[in-house]
């Protein structure tokens, strides 16, 4: 069967690109929890594609048909101090294809922990300028197979990241934000002692390429900060790796590149203090060694104080 590497919407390595409720947060936004506040979240994501890029060649594959990836991700964000927050996530993933004879996989993917700090929080003109730094680390939470594309749950490597986030928000609730991160990746281990990329290697250790992620967002808060609407553009680029060879299998260290557009909203329910709902979507525009996926997400959040 032809196998190819799927771009995970959450290597948590990637940063988690989800839409969050009032005063909740992710590693890629400019929101901060107040000291002693905690937010619990549960997000479901349905991600599908039936076309992919084999290097720069876009194609379909009857042995795969439509690849579906479902993710259930619990998250927690905690305000250690007003300017220092901690975020953690542990997603469960299931993959399956409509074509072929190979069953998919399911299980825990990658744990992730991030520390976000506020470096600048300054009134500028009619709005506020904020600058945040986020450091994080993620790694496999189960013994899944990274060399099982396109059904693999994740990349199977430790990922350490450093991110900068700059946002300007006006008094009317309109804001723009830009963010970028460098991801330092460790090796992953596969279940064979020989593999070929651009040359042969007699080892089960795969040298994973580092990567950068980036994004830009425009949004607005409405109805006394109870409704948030956003539009986004983001992407990923591996700093190394190689293309999937024609009619060959994908591999964890392939050179992965994509750009994506998306949008989302969040509503903070006035009838139940601290309870919010989120929804978002994203579509891959361009890519290299990834699937052209459509991602739809929805979930609930609950925020309360613990000290």
Q: In whole angstroms, what is the distance from residue 254 CA to residue 89 CA? A: 25
Interstrand relation of 205-206 and 211-222 (parallel, antiparallel or unpaired):
unpaired
The DSSP annotation for 61-95 comes to -TTT-SEEEEEEEEEEEEEEETTEEEEEE--EEEE
Q: In whole angstroms, what is the distance from residue 18 CA to residue 299 CA? A: 10
Q: Provide the token pair at 56.
A: 């720069």
Check residue 74 and give its pLDDT.
97
Query: Per-residue confidence at 248, pLDDT binned at 50, 70, 90?
Result: confident
Residue labelled with tokens 């991110």 = 163
Average pLDDT, the chain: 92
What is the DSSP code (8-state) at residue 29?
S
Check residue 247 and give its pLDDT.
83
Question: Is the Cα torsion angle 26, 32, 35, 39 positive or negative in sign?
Answer: negative
Residue labelled with tokens 């959450």 = 10
Q: Is the pLDDT of residue 72 over 70?
A: yes
Residue range 92-105: mean pLDDT, rounded: 95
Query: Per-residue confidence at 144, pLDDT binned at 50, 70, 90?
Result: very high
Write the Ramachandran bin of 285: left for phi over 0, alpha for psi from -120 to 50, otherwise beta: alpha
Burial of residue 126 (number of CB atoms within 10 Å: 0-12, 13-18, 19+): exposed
Tens digits of per-residue pLDDT, 186-216?
999 999 999 999 999 999 999 999 999 999 9
What is the DSSP code (8-state) at residue 62?
T
Check residue 7 and give its pLDDT.
36
Check residue 24 and give its pLDDT.
52
Query: Per-residue confidence at 1, pLDDT binned at 50, 70, 90?
Result: very low
Q: Which domains, from first to last, does the chain contain?
A: 37-305 (2.40.160.40)
Residue range 1-5: mean pLDDT, rounded: 34
Say which residues have a Cβ less than 8 Å from residue 199's Cβ, sequence separation at least 6: none
Check residue 15 and give its pLDDT.
35
Output 218 or 3, whichever has higher pLDDT: 218
Residue range 85-113: mean pLDDT, rounded: 96
Tens digits of per-residue pLDDT, 155-190?
999 999 999 999 999 999 999 999 999 999 999 999
Residue range 1-20: mean pLDDT, rounded: 35
Q: Provide the token pair at 92.
A: 């469960």
Check residue 249 and give its pLDDT.
78
């Amino acid at each position: 069967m032809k196998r190819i590497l799927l771009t995970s919407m959450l290597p948590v390595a990637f940063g988690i690109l989800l839409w969050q409720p009032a005063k909740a947060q992710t590693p890629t936004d400019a929101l901060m929890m107040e000291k002693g506040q905690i937010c619990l979240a549960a997000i479901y994501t349905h991600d599908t594609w039936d076309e992919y890029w084999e290097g720069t060649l876009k194609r379909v594959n009857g042995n795969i048909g439509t690849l579906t990836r479902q993710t259930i991700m619990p998250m927690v964000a905690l305000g250690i101090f007003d300017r220092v927050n901690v975020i953690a996530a542990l997603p469960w993933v299931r993959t399956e294809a409509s074509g072929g004879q190979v069953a998919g996989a399911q299980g825990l993917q990658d744990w992730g922990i991030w520390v976000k700090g506020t470096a600048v929080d300054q009134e500028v003109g009619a709005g506020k300028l904020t600058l945040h730094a986020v450091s994080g680390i993620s790694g496999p939470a189960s013994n899944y197979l990274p060399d099982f594309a396109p059904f693999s749950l994740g990349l199977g490597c430790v990922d350490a990241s450093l991110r900068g986030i700059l946002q300007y928000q006006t008094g009317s609730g309109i804001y723009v934000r830009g963010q970028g991160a460098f991801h330092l990746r460790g090796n992953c281990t596969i279940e064979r002692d020989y593999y070929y990329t651009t040359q042969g290697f007699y080892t089960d250790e795969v040298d994973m390429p580092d990567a950068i992620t980036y994004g830009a967002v425009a949004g607005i808060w409405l109805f006394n900060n109870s409704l948030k609407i956003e539009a986004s553009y983001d992407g990923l680029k591996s700093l190394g790796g190689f293309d999937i060879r024609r009619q060959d299998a994908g591999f964890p260290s392939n050179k992965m590149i994509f750009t994506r557009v998306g949008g989302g909203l969040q509503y903070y329910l006035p009838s139940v203090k601290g309870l919010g709902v989120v929804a978002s979507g994203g579509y891959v525009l361009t890519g290299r060694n990834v699937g052209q996926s459509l991602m739809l997400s929805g979930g609930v959040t609950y925020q309360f104080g613990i000290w």
